Amino acid sequence: MVQHKKTQGSGSRTHLFEWVEDKLRPIFDSPPVGSYEAEHAVNLQECPICGHSMREHTIDHSVANTILVCPVPHPGAWDRDAFEPVNEFGMVRRGRSPAPE
């Protein structure tokens, strides 16, 4: 933003308006311009889940909840319970413990 040279006016109103302008300018002024190296900074970030570079990941925004697709296979297969029976909530049904008497 270009700073204009203030005119020297006579009168208390001019001084008041200049004072108010000086106080409000930092609040309503445009924010500072960020770094042009933003893409470089993203490449250096690590995934909080697997520790690999975020550049290797894909982010799916096509559904209501954003999904981070991690290319690294997770230890302990997520589908190990795929062949076990599930209850009405979709949770794996475990053997029932005997009812307390």
pLDDT tens, 50-77?
788 888 888 888 888 888 888 877 655 5
pLDDT band at 80 (very low <50, low <70, confident <90, very high): low
Residue closest to 72 by CA, chosen among 45, 51, 44: 51
The string of pLDDT tens digits covering residues 29-46 is 777 776 666 555 555 688
pLDDT band at 10 (very low <50, low <70, confident <90, very high): low
Average pLDDT over the chain reads: 73
- The pLDDT score that the predictor gives to residue 56 is 85
Instruction: Please give the C-alpha separations between residue 62 and each of 47, 49, 57, 98, in angstroms, as whole numbers.
Output: 21, 21, 15, 46
